[in-house]
Chain A
Amino acid sequence: MAFDPERAAIRFGCGLAPDIAPPRSATEMLDRLAEPDTAAHRFPVPAIDTVLHGLVEIARLSRTARAASGSAERDAARDSRKARLRAMRLEAGGWFRHALLRRITTNDGFRERLVSFWGDHFTAHGKGPARHLSYLPYLEDAIRPHVTERFADMLKAVITHPVLLRYLDQPRSAGPSSRAARRRGGPGLNENLAREVLELHTLGVGASYTPRDVRALATLFTGLSIAPDRGFVFRENLAEPGQITVLNRVYGGKSPSLRHVFQALEDLAAHPATALHLARKLARHFVSDTPDPALISALQARYIETDGTLSALYESLLDHPSAWRPEAGNVKQPFDFMASALRALGLMPEDLPTDPGRLRRLLHTPLGLMGQPFGQPRAPDGWPEADADWITPQGMAARLNWAMTVPTALADRLPDPRVFAATALGSRIPEPVRFAAAAAETRADGVALVLSAPAFQRM
């Protein structure tokens, strides 16, 4: 089994499209990754600073409302706060639209998939008023620029990103002997970030580390914090001074420093357990719920050989015969499904609604109904990978409901279902799908049947 253009677009890209040729070779896919990120340039999403500035303004308006002497003043401040928050949510809706448009129009689909994969590996989203605002700027800052670099680089970028720090309760964590903790009523240690870094981001929960390692890493992480207006800061007054031993290695020195944290992250990234954990995840996500052990070993070996260089890891993935197994692959997650459906329909940027109400009703809410509220996984371990976690009765019903109603609401004119079957599925159209596309009562039903078929729902 070897490279196949249609399979490459479906399994490792954003799907087939009427006017975008699938990649011709694995080399072409890897070359595109090395070229400039045109999709991000064409459909921009801002850095987190934009969100932070908005939140500072919102916090100021909250304080004004609380301190107001009269009810008129208070109401005015509250109204401005509400209006500001609303404006930010509308803006974030535009970023969501851009995330879809990148997938719909790109010829570098592997990049979009990798951004989602690593974004899920390092799951984080905003809290409080920022809950629905921060996910995409976080990916843009901490994930996207690093998808082809060393894993350690991405790890350092996320661990110094305000969204992940806040999500995992790090900003106020203080070392027991830090200046801050020695004050009366001062803050204490919070283990959450350290635990997830070991369990989810690097070694994996099966690896041999102890509660003492979690605590030690948490102690080493003290000082990683945020400032409301600037984002990441290293606060020396929170940081634990002295030497700290994590997994039998000693870090730190007289005065705390971000350098020590980075050294520990380098060592964690280079750990063989991390190589195995990432190899398993990558194979599982892109190839199969039960990946070929030989593929996992190949990925793990390549990761170790190349000091965790991610582009080399992808090369090894695309080179491996079991990546191209002809059997139906994983079920598309709802965002993959929705974006690939819109792409197969050949929608143009102007077809995607800019009206916030329509955008929400037709695209944002349905993702939640399919079980994947955009950027909001239930917990830091991200979205499930098993097919059966997605194709539940309610998940299936939500996919069908969407396929039946939304394409016809968005497309100027729906394609002939028989033609659409070939556009969406390529040269391998299962006989029942061919039959159903021709036998449907309406174009809308026919398109929905193609989109609902396992041949489209799987990669």
Chain B
Amino acid sequence: MTRPSSLTRRGMMLRSFALGCSVSASPLLTPVSFASLPGEGRLVVIILRGGMDGLDVVRPVGDVDFAALRPETDTPGFALDGFFELHPALGGLYPLWRSEELSFAHAVSTPYRDKRSHFDGQDMLETGGGGATPGRTRSGWLNRLVQTIPGATSDIAYAIGRENMLLLTGDAPVSNWSPEAAMSLNPQARRLLELVTHDDPLFREALAEALLLSSAERNDVVGAVSADPNGMMPSDRESRTPRRREAGVQAITRFAADRLRREARIAAFSVSGFDTHVRQTQALPRALSHVQDAILTLRRHLGQIWQHTAVLAMTEFGRTARFNGTGGTDHGTAGVVLMAGGALKGGRVITDWPGLSEADLYARRDLHPTRDLRALAGWVMHDLFGTAPSVITGSVFPAVDLDRNPRLLL
């Protein structure tokens, strides 16, 4: 086996295999990684696909026009600040609201307007409006954040799940992994595989990373279970919801927590099911239960690290202010960002509330956006990692108007 002498990513991988130990315990890896750590902060970004209905998730019951717009809202929610109520399906997060580990930003959106396409909306959400010029390679804003971290290695940031997230795509090295993909190969087969894929960079790099993560996985999944500080491992059955996909969300968040307890500082994954055109009263609670589960699983498994963590859950757009004719809502404009974590100065709904009268609505149909969600994300990374505002507006979210710091974190 050839061994590159420089500590490149691939070099490290080969060494850790040669040493026959798990990556996380490799003495060659950790010093390099520690040298590049941007403090203790942890950022988790959850992309809520389909367009979450912010007006149903955080309900402006104190707005005089709300009841008339949404007569369908009949099950009472949890009181937040007197003006807003939380959707009952997120009741499991209510204790976090009271302990100030949960916040919301309302009437926010990306700059995406009018065409209301999921795919373009998600592209805008994940590229942050940067690098989206036709003909150029698109990159995600979270990847561009990683690019600002000096000497970042690929285990700083993880995109988790079967899909390849645009959010973390770009020039900075990041890891992509789905916890169910771990493989085991005999040494001869591994060597020959490296040989047959060697001349095709796409295959070569994917294989290198898959081998690296497979070896880490086998040790770490066991570690995560036994390392629970208080011996309070919940049974998976306890919080099971009707859909099988939920097991996927749990596995993903457990893997995320495990990485974040080590070198990783950033993790991203997505939850879908928010495109509630039909029978929203059934479809939305199902999607929300995955989000609730993801946050509670992270909190449980992160232990002390939760204190340094901010979770941002965001969606491509909100939905129409009124219900449509089929018991659901159609693609809209402004919506809600959900924030959780021990690093948060929580218990607040941050908003410049636009109102819901016919004249207040965007295009007379949607909640009017009053803040750019990219500015919120920008201030979170500023407070969490010390990223300078000039760097945020220069490369992470090019030309975004950051406005004043809403001081989302402690």
Q: Which residues of B contact A (CB under 8 A)?
A: 49, 114-120, 162-164, 169, 175-178, 180-183, 185-186, 188-189, 192-193, 195-200, 202-203, 206-207, 209-210, 213-214, 272, 277-278, 324-326, 328, 330-331, 363
Q: Are B185 and A174 in touch, CB under 8 angstroms?
A: no
4 closest A-B pairs by beta carbon, nearest first, are: A188-B325, A187-B325, A394-B178, A394-B181
A7 at interface by CB-CB < 8 Å: no
B197 touches A453 (CB 8 A): yes
Cβ of A174: which chain B residues have Cβ within 8 Å of it?
A: 325
Q: A195-B117, A378-B49, A393-B213 are in contact. Are A189 and B192 (CB under 8 A)?
A: no
Q: Which residues of B contact A328 (CB under 8 A)?
A: 200
Decide yes or no whether A408 CB sits under 8 A from chain B: no
Q: Do A169 and B277 form a contact, CB below 8 Å, given A393-B177, A393-B209, A404-B189?
A: yes
Q: Give the shortest distance, in Å, between A51 (CB) and chain B (any CB).
A: 19
Q: Bin the interface of chain A by size.
A: 35 or more
Q: Are B181 and A369 in contact (CB under 8 A)?
A: yes
Q: Contact check: which of B182, B186, B196, B213 meets A452 at CB < 8 Å?
A: B196
**A172 and B325 in contact (CB under 8 A), knowing A396-B206, A454-B203?**
yes
A170-209 residues at the B interface, CB under 8 angstroms: 172-174, 181, 186-192, 195, 199, 205
Inter-subunit contact A396/B203 (CB<8 Å): yes
**B325 touching A392 by the CB < 8 A rule?**
no
Besides A388-B202, A439-B192, 13 more A-B contacts (Cβ < 8 Å) are A189-B325, A190-B277, A211-B114, A211-B116, A371-B162, A396-B210, A404-B183, A404-B189, A430-B199, A435-B195, A436-B193, A441-B186, A454-B200
| Cβ-defined contact, B197 with A454, below 8 A | yes
- Candidates B114, B198, B210, B277; contact of A397 at CB < 8 Å: B210
Contact A393 B330 (CB under 8 A): no
Number of A-B residue pairs with CB-CB distance less than 8 Å in the complex they form: 159
Closest chain A residue to B179 by CB distance? A394
In the complex, chain B residues whose CB is within 8 Å of the CB of A393: 175-177, 181, 206-207, 209-210, 213
Could you tell me if B324 and A391 are in contact, using CB atoms closer than 8 angstroms?
no
User: Are B176 and A392 touching (Cβ within 8 A)?
Assistant: yes
CB distance from A133 to the nearest CB of B (A): 17
Q: Is A237 located at the chain interface by the 8 A CB criterion?
A: no
Are A381 and B119 neighbours in the complex by a CB distance under 8 Å? yes
Cβ-based interface call for A400 (8 A): yes
A–B complex contacts, Cβ < 8 Å, 6 sampled = A188-B326, A378-B49, A387-B202, A432-B196, A435-B195, A457-B203
Say yes or no: A188-B324 contact (C-beta < 8 A), given A393-B206, A395-B206: yes
Give the complex CA separation of A388 and B214 in angstroms: 20
- B299 → A minimal CB distance (Å): 25
Task: Report which residue of B177, B200, B207 has the largest number of chain A beta carbons within 10 angstroms of its beta carbon.
Answer: B200
